[in-house]
Amino acid sequence: MKVAVVGAGSTYTPELVSGLSPLGVDELALHDIDATRRDVVGAMARRMLARDRFSGCIDVTDDLGRALDGADFVLIQIRVGGQEARLADETAPLACGCIGQETTGAGGLAKALRTVPVVLEIADEVRARAADGAWIVDFTNPVGIVTRALLDAGHRAVGLCNVAIGFQRLFARLLGVEPARVLVDQVGLNHLTWVRAARVDGADVLGALIADHVDDLAAQSAMAPEIVERLGVVPSYYLRYFYLHDEVLEHQRHATPRAQEVMDIERSLLELYRDPSVDTKPALLERRGGAFYSEAATQLVASL
């Protein structure tokens, strides 16, 4: 099985490759147009996979066609315009009294307008170069809009974010059970979703979770416990941009933009990745976000 990662210069890539070994991957292609990031992150990925005794072939390349040739799965995690464009998405709406965020609202729409045409170009190359029946797995935000565009264009694609698996793992921890026993019933469009049921061995325990652990659930949703109690479901933390619009807007006007925080974190991560002695995910990667990213991705690939 061949897996191609487009946008492999992302600092998320070590999180992703950490879960590939059990999938039976024979060939891994890591593609990026940024030579510095590609080489630094590619070398880090090689060390991690060597530590895991990965026996397959690893190709780090700037040639998209070569990366896609014969691929069974193509994982897309690009950021058109880089973090600098994200910074504009997060700050420009503030002047209009709107929340700045990269997946929803004005910022999310701006990102979609930049991103969708590029992703569709990549998808056309997938159709021409990848294996018959290849899947595109999109991690690129705004994942809902990007995935809808892929599906509307007739591509074999699925979008993935880590909100659902994050709630599943939280519920399992609060209940003291293995995550595999927890089935989350989530509705909505990424990233605007609600958990309306959580079943353990077939029985819905969401009501009990809200009654016994509302503070923990509210913390995960970044909202007040009263909101979760009133809703009777557990909202994604992205919904705070709507439920708590005025409060979030006021906070954003005085806070450091998330894009700036991420740029600082990424500089530090890339320095760590340059160290030839580093062959495991650094703890700093957790501050980048994307908890359970690898597990969600590998479980999805294994199920397709």
Backbone angles phi, psi at 134, to 5 degrees: -65, 145
Sign, CA dihedral 98-100-105-110, equals: positive
Torsion angle of C-alpha atoms 11, 12, 13, 18, degrees rounded to 10: 130
Count Cα atoms within 13 angstroms, Cβ side, for 168: 20
Q: Are 266 and 83 in contact (CB under 8 A)?
A: yes
Beta bridge partners of 192: 189
In whole angstroms, what is the distance from residue 293 CA to residue 91 CA?
A: 27
Which residue is catalytic, options 12, 237, 238, 243? Answer: 238
Beta strands 27-31 and 182-189 are: unpaired
Query: Is 293 a catalytic site residue?
Result: no
Residue 143 makes CB contacts below 8 A (sequence gap 6+) with 103, 159, 160, 161, 190, 191
> Which of 122, 143, 10 is CA-nearest to residue 67?
122
Q: Are 100 and 42 in contact (CB under 8 A)?
A: no
- Rounded distance between C-alpha atoms, residue 211 and residue 117, angstroms: 45
Active site residues: 238
